[in-house]
Amino acid sequence: MAVRPGLWPALLGIVLSAWLRGSGAQQSATVANPVPGANPDLLPHFLVEPEDVYIVKNKPVLLVCKAVPATQIFFKCNGEWMRQVDHVIERSMDGSSGLPTMEVRINVSRQQVEKVFGLEEYWCQCVAWSSSGTTKSQKAYIRIAYLRKNFEQEPLAKEVSLEQGIVLPCRPPEGIPPAEVEWLRNEDLVDPSLDPNVYITREHSLVVRQARLADTANYTCVAKNIVARRRSASAAVIVYVDGSWSPWSKWSACGLDCTHWRSRECSDPAPRNGGEECQGADLDSRNCTSDLCVHTASGPEDVALYVGLIAVAVCLVLLLLVLILVYCRKKEGLDSDVADSSILTSGFQPVSIKPSKADNPHLLTIQPDLSTTTTTYQGSLCPRQDGPSPKFQLTNGHLLSPLGGGRHTLHHSSPTSEAEEFVSRLSTQTYFRSLPRGTSNMTYGTFNFLGGRLMIPNTGISLLIPPDAIPRGKIYEIYLTLHKPEDVRLPLAGCQTLLSPIVSCGPPGVLLTRPVILAMDHCGEPSPDSWSLRLKKQSCEGSWEDVLHLGEEAPSHLYYCQLEASACYVFTEQLGRFALVGEALSVAAAKRLKLLLFAPVACTSLEYNIRVYCLHDTHDALKEVVQLEKQLGGQLIQEPRVLHFKDSYHNLRLSIHDVPSSLWKSKLLVSYQEIPFYHIWNGTQQYLHCTFTLERVSPSTSDLACKLWVWQVEGDGQSFNINFNITKDTRFAELLALESEGGVPALVGPSAFKIPFLIRQKIISSLDPPCSRGADWRTLAQKLHLDSHLSFFASKPSPTAMILNLWEARHFPNGNLSQLAAAVAGLGQPDAGLFTVSEAEC
């Protein structure tokens, strides 16, 4: 019976399906299924079969089948026939047998493979057909190749003695196909075939049978497959040698004192690479037993010697007694001076009150009432060092007790009494268990409806409390605190990193009728394509929550953020503890690191240490390091540089070069030092630094010229050209002089704002109502480049007030009022007098 050509593919599919159903379980090997009575020699024979392949990234893979004789070949993947249009077919004739030959190719994409769920792997198989029957090819498995970023186990630094065995473990990241492992010694490949003292185990550990001095180096485990190449953190291995004594020398000749001596040296071997020095004395003496030593003390020379020794001993005893008497008298005088000093009991006044001018009776001011006994809380939060140092916690109550009689009163008292009362008022709850130990990282003040400002000097951290943010009739005691990352447990998931300081403002739970603005620095390079930025807030139970995803803010949200190049301004109606966290979306995501080089102001020994700090490019991190170096007696020796540290999982390396060997020598045992990627990227470790120790050849050496490199592997780098005199060069010392930011850390009422209160009210009443000619708050936002926040401003009762509040937060204390006045005057309001205030009104 003849079959129409158009029905042939359909019938072939039916025949193949029936054959596959009857053939049972699929096998990986080639299987033939002849037609009964047909010539088995004419069954299809595969010249090319599909092989296992890996999909790298999103690139499709090609599978090929070729059989002879063959009239049809189809691919079947995971039990489903591939579409006929997906097959690329080439037909030919075998040159030797004249039989028909067919070659078929298909592409398999990543999306097809990812559709298979569960434990089953994606496979493909081709089936060839001829007049004598069908033949199945072997199965080819298609897998998506990957290599995770994190090593399951990284090598750790070791210090081992000479000839001791060394084992450096390494478990590479999970990957398909499994990663191959190789080891680098100071960036040179370790080849066990060239060094019989070294071998690599099946578990990828590097083993050194007997440690040699030459094995002192940085060791790095490298994992690679067809997708990527990963490097572990480098492990510094130091092979040290403990010192051992040489044999004793011969006894010396007997001396006049009837003793002789012998010596030995710690040189067999000498200690190397930090090995222990020899224990015991290097000189030994004993009484002579030789007949040559016949010596008595009957001569006049011996009598004179002994008399002289006794006289010296008596003089030393008398001198010691005199020194003791002088010291005791000075101590008594000093104690009386300290006891009588009134300066130790004085407090300080963090609240700035702007006095009223006699000729301007209408100026909004707050007059201090020094006659009352009500106490606000200024001064040190810690008692004096000679008293107990109680731990205290901040309350989560809605209000601290208001001041007496509803008036804003001020009082100046001693730090100790203030601290005790402040502690007692804030220690009734368990919210916020960590506070800085001094006042340098905390500020506080008492505020009412007129608002004010808190700031922690030299940190870039401030809290703006706009007018009417506090309900009328209420008085709040508000604090602002900078926390050290190690004191606060901030959980970071995946690739998240801390980009800002951790800041608390409170007490939490107080009622606010307008958003306050919290300003703080950040070290991220803002880019919507590289970062996913989130504002985190700690709840009263201690857990951290994402309260804002930047770029996805809702106008009616309780939180809003203005993100700028190096700072962020958070609008919030709820006080609490906040931090800005970023998650890298690509390897282009980068953090700004500030590189600082410090060295001793005075060098009294031959050794000279250069400390290289790698810290977040924020004011608070800079302040901490500057204060630490002041305590260490350090000075800045180069202008600070900024390095962009990317999310590439590569470490930061530091090295020193071109040290003049005739004047100095470097005590660094390896070619470079390294800070692991995670120590930097996590963002919670302070004072990350490396120290380079140099040694002067002569105490008279004072000029130092060398180069210091800091770079991320396969990333950004900076080079410092050091050339200065270590004894008298101080030209960089003024670069990091900490300056006061606008005076006192707490400002209350109109003195806290650049814009006079009455002018502010006139601007708000004029620009809040919509204007048909566009001369309203929307135009002002555009002129101040804040037009991306129009929906947020519009959701508030007074959009103009929100704009002016943000201007105050961004530009205090050095804001240019003339520029703001020009922007307001340029709106084309018909009544220009709205934006001027008479002398009487001021």
Burial class (CB in 10 A: 0-12, 13-18, 19+), 377: buried
- Quote the pLDDT of residue 489: 83
Mean pLDDT (the chain, rounded): 79
**What is the per-residue pLDDT across 621-656, written as a single tens digit (0 to 9) for each?**
999 999 999 999 999 999 999 999 998 888 999 999
Name the residue with higher pLDDT: 69 or 487.
Answer: 69
- Quote the pLDDT of residue 616: 94
pLDDT above 70 covers a percentage of the chain that reads 76
- Quote the pLDDT of residue 277: 87
Is the pLDDT confidence value at 340 over 50?
A: no
Is the pLDDT confidence value at 121 over 90?
A: no
**What is the per-residue pLDDT across 508-541, written as a single tens digit (0 to 9) for each?**
889 999 999 999 999 998 777 889 999 999 988 7
Name the residue with higher pLDDT: 48 or 737.
Answer: 48
**What is the per-residue pLDDT across 426-445, written as a single tens digit (0 to 9) for each?**
433 333 334 444 457 899 99
User: What is 615-677 written as a DSSP string?
Assistant: EESSHHHHHHHHHHHHHHTEEE-S--EEEEEESSSPPEEEEEE---TTTEEE--SSS-EEE-H
Name the residue with higher pLDDT: 729 or 304.
Answer: 729
pLDDT above 90 covers a percentage of the chain that reads 43
Query: Could you give the CA distance from residue 76 to residue 15 in angstroms, rounded to a whole number?
Result: 14
Span of 16-20, 39-43, 271-275, 278-282 with lowest mean pLDDT: 16-20
- Quote the pLDDT of residue 383: 32
* Beta strand ranges found along 429-556 (DSSP E): 442-447, 452-456, 461-465, 476-483, 496-498, 502-506, 516-521, 531-538, 544-549
Is the pLDDT confidence value at 331 over 60?
A: no
Describe the crossing of helices 799-811 and 757-767 by its angle, rounded to 10 degrees: 140
Options 1.10.260.40, 3.40.50.2300, 1.10.4080.10, 2.60.40.10; CATH of 147-240? 2.60.40.10
Only one residue has tokens 């190096």, namely 566
**What is the per-residue pLDDT across 776-823, written as a single tens digit (0 to 9) for each?**
888 888 888 888 888 888 888 899 999 999 999 998 878 788 888 888
Name the residue with higher pLDDT: 389 or 459.
Answer: 459
The average pLDDT across 702-706 equals 92
Is the pLDDT confidence value at 359 over 90?
A: no
- Tokens encoding 426: 């804030």
Highest mean pLDDT among 62-76, 279-293, 742-756, 806-820 belongs to 62-76
- Quote the pLDDT of residue 290: 52
pLDDT tier at 4, thresholds 50, 70, 90: very low
**What is the per-residue pLDDT across 774-783, written as a single tens digit (0 to 9) for each?**
778 888 888 8
- Quote the pLDDT of residue 823: 84
Element (H, E) at 706: strand 703-712
- Quote the pLDDT of residue 586: 84
Only one residue has tokens 């009544």, namely 831
Is the pLDDT confidence value at 370 over 80?
A: no
**What is the per-residue pLDDT across 395-407, written as a single tens digit (0 to 9) for each?**
333 323 333 333 3
Domain 45-144, what fold?
Immunoglobulin-like (2.60.40)
Domain 443-584, what fold?
Chondroitinase Ac; Chain A, domain 3 (2.60.220)
Options 1.10.533.10, 3.40.50.620, 1.20.1260.10, 3.90.420.10; CATH of 754-826? 1.10.533.10
The average pLDDT across 64-77 equals 92
Is the pLDDT confidence value at 351 over 50?
A: no
User: What is 540-579 written as a DSSP string?
Assistant: TTS-EEEEEETT---TT-SEEEEE-SSEEEEEESS-EEEE
Query: Could you give the CA distance from residue 613 to residue 680 in angstroms, rounded to a whole number?
Result: 11
- Quote the pLDDT of residue 179: 93
- Quote the pLDDT of residue 304: 67
Is the pLDDT confidence value at 384 over 60?
A: no
Residues ≥6 apart with Cβ < 8 Å to 24? none
Cα–Cα nearest to 524, from 578, 577, 589: 589
Evaluate whether 581 touches 533 at the Cβ level (below 8 Å). Answer: yes
Is the pLDDT confidence value at 746 over 80?
A: yes
* Beta strand ranges found along 658-808 (DSSP E): 664-666, 673-675, 689-696, 703-712, 717-725, 746-748
Torsion of CA 96, 97, 100, 103, to 10 degrees: -40
The average pLDDT across 42-46 equals 89
Is the pLDDT confidence value at 709 over 80?
A: yes
Span of 155-159, 300-304, 448-452, 705-709 with lowest mean pLDDT: 300-304
- Quote the pLDDT of residue 307: 75
- Tokens encoding 562: 């203005």
- Quote the pLDDT of residue 182: 95
Query: Could you give the CA distance from residue 819 to residue 68 in angstroms, rounded to a whole number?
Result: 85
- Tokens encoding 234: 């480098």
Question: Which ranges constitute the DSSP H helices of 109-225?
Answer: 110-114
- Quote the pLDDT of residue 34: 67
The average pLDDT across 64-88 equals 91
The average pLDDT across 255-277 equals 84
**What is the per-residue pLDDT across 755-773, written as a single tens digit (0 to 9) for each?**
998 999 999 998 988 876 6
Span of 25-29, 168-172, 281-285 with lowest mean pLDDT: 25-29
- Quote the pLDDT of residue 689: 92
Query: Could you give the CA distance from residue 577 to residue 539 in angstroms, rounded to a whole number?
Result: 8
Span of 150-159, 382-391, 545-554, 677-686 with lowest mean pLDDT: 382-391
Evaluate whether 760 touches 800 at the Cβ level (below 8 Å). Answer: no
The average pLDDT across 101-123 equals 84
The DSSP secondary-structure symbol of 465 reads E
- Quote the pLDDT of residue 554: 75
- Quote the pLDDT of residue 229: 92
Evaluate whether 180 touches 224 at the Cβ level (below 8 Å). Answer: yes
Is the pLDDT confidence value at 839 over 70?
A: no
CA distances in angstroms from 194 to 189, 198, 205, listed in the order given: 11, 9, 18
Rounded to the nearest 5°, which phi and psi values hold at 243? Answer: -70, 150
Is the pLDDT confidence value at 96 over 50?
A: yes
- Tokens encoding 476: 């709040």
Burial class (CB in 10 A: 0-12, 13-18, 19+), 503: buried
- Quote the pLDDT of residue 406: 34
